[in-house]
Structure 1
Amino acid sequence: MTIKHLAASVAASAILIAAPAVAEVDLSGETIEWVIPFSETGGSAKWANFFAPLLSEQLPGNPTVVVKFMPGAGSTKGANWFQEQEHEDGTLLFGTSGSTQFPFLLGDPRVRYEYSDWIPVMASGTGGVAYLNPEDGAKFDGSANALKDIDFIYGSQGATRLDLVPLLAWEMLGMNVEPVFGIKGRGDGRLMFERGEATIDYQTSSAYLGASADLVASGKAVPMMSWGALDDDGNIVRDPTFPDMPTFKEVCEATDGCETSGEAWDAWKAFFIAGFPVQKIAFLPAGTPQDVTDAYVAAFDAVRKTDGFAERAAQQVGKYPVFVGQGAARATVEGTTVSAEAKAFVTNWLQEAYGVSLK
Structure 2
Amino acid sequence: MARRIVFQMCVTAWWVCLLGDSLYAAEPFYQGKTLRVIVASAAGGGSDIVARLMMRHLPRHIPGHPTIIVENMPGAGEIVGTNYVYGKAKADGLTALFATGTPINQLIELPGIEFDITRMPIIGGSSESVAAFIRNDKTGVKSARDLLHPKSQIIIGGSGYGSIKDVSMLAALNLLGVKNPTYVTGYGGAGPIRLAYERGEVNFTQETAVGIARSVLPWVREGWTSILYQVGFLDGKGNVIKDPAWRELGIEAPSIAEVYRGIYGKEAAGPPWEAEKALIGGYSLTRMMAVAPKTPPALIADLRQGFQAMGKDQNFLREWIKSQGSPPRLVSGDEAAKIAVSILKAPREAVNILKKLALP
Return the TM-score normalized by structure 2: 0.72
Structure 1 residues 73 and 182: CA distance shift in structure 2, 3 A: farther
2:127, 2:330 within 8 Å by CA — same for their partners in 1? yes
Secondary structure of the structure 1 residue equivalent to 2:229: strand
Hey, what does 1:6 align to over in structure 2? Answer: none
2:255 to 226, 233, 247: 247
2:126, 2:288 within 8 Å by CA — same for their partners in 1? yes
For 2:282, the aligned partner's letter is G
Please say if 1:297 is aligned against 2:301.
Answer: no
Return the alpha-carbon distance in structure 2 between the equivalents of residues 181 and 39 of structure 1.
22
Secondary structure of the structure 2 residue equivalent to 1:24: coil
Higher relative contact order (CA 8 A, sep 6+): 1
Return the alpha-carbon distance in structure 1 between the equivalents of residues 115 and 297 of structure 2.
22
How far 1:39 moved relative to its partner?
Answer: 6.5
Structure 1, unaligned stretches of length 5 or more? 1-18
Return the alpha-carbon distance in structure 2 between the equivalents of residues 20 and 280 of structure 1.
37
1:277 to 280, 284, 298: 284
Q: Which has the larger radius of gyration?
A: 2
Structure 2, unaligned stretches of length 5 or more? 1-23
2:154, 2:204 within 8 Å by CA — same for their partners in 1? no
Hey, what does 1:266 align to over in structure 2? Answer: 273
How far 1:215 moved relative to its partner?
Answer: 1.3
How far 1:212 moved relative to its partner?
Answer: 3.6
Secondary structure of the structure 2 residue equivalent to 1:95: strand
Structure 1 residues 50 and 189: CA distance shift in structure 2, 3 A: farther
Moved more, 272-281 or 295-304: 272-281
How far 1:189 moved relative to its partner?
Answer: 4.6
Please say if 1:75 is aligned against 2:78.
Answer: yes
1:154, 1:180 within 8 Å by CA — same for their partners in 2? yes
Structure 1 residues 149 and 282: CA distance shift in structure 2, 3 A: same
Please say if 1:26 is aligned against 2:31.
Answer: yes
Hey, what does 1:124 align to over in structure 2? Answer: 126
2:41, 2:74 within 8 Å by CA — same for their partners in 1? yes
Q: Give runs of aligned pairs for residues 201-350 of structure 1, distance below 5 A.
A: 201-203=205-207, 205=208, 208-209=209-210, 211-219=211-219, 222-230=226-234, 235-243=239-247, 244-255=252-263, 260-286=267-293, 288-307=295-314, 316=325, 320-324=329-333, 326-335=334-343, 337-340=344-347, 343-348=348-353, 350=355
**How many residue pairs align between the two structures?**
326
1:165, 1:268 within 8 Å by CA — same for their partners in 2? no
1:48 to 51, 54, 57: 51
Return the alpha-carbon distance in structure 2 between the equivalents of residues 71 and 185 of structure 1.
16
Return the alpha-carbon distance in structure 1 between the equivalents of residues 237 and 35 of structure 2.
42
Return the alpha-carbon distance in structure 1 between the equivalents of residues 148 and 353 of structure 2.
26
Please list the CA deviations of residues 82-120 of structure 1 after superposition, one character each: whole Å capped at 9, or x if unmatched. 33431287553212333x222311333332222244231
For 2:29, the aligned partner's letter is E
